[in-house]
Amino acid sequence: NLHEKLILLALARVLERNNATYATMGDVEVAYRMACEEHKETYRAHTQVWKYVQNLNATGILSTQLSTTGFRGKTTLLGISSAPASAIRRWLESTLSIRA
């Protein structure tokens, strides 16, 4: 699914930029919207993005966990454990540029 790839690209970019293991759902959504604009796609609403994230989590491509201390309220944290974020970002950017 194209939008699942764009969400993964957004997550990889946020993780790489912040040099972090996990990123907030909100940060990933902002980066996802930017990735959609970059690839001339209409971004999906929060509920659909959440469904894509749940699907990616169920297949083991990304991991989710609820935030703990240090965050205001509850937020979902997203991470990728299968490969370095930079490698995933490069692969997705090349894959998505071939499609364009």
Q: How much is the pTM?
A: 0.92
- Percent of the residues in the chain that have a pLDDT greater than 90, as a whole number: 83
Q: What is the pLDDT of residues 46-89, one digit of tens each?
A: 999 999 999 999 999 999 999 876 667 788 999 998 889 999 99
What is residue 99's predicted lDDT score, i.e. its pLDDT?
67
Number of domains in the chain: 1
Burial, 46: exposed, middle or buried (Cβ in 10 Å; 0-12, 13-18, 19+)? exposed
* Mean pLDDT rounded to a whole number for the chain: 92
What is residue 6's predicted lDDT score, i.e. its pLDDT?
98
Question: Which residue range forms the structural domain that includes residue 66?
Answer: 2-99
The sheet with strand 22-24 has its strands ordered as 22-24, 76-79, 63-66
Give the CATH number of the domain where residue 69 resides.
Answer: 1.10.10.10
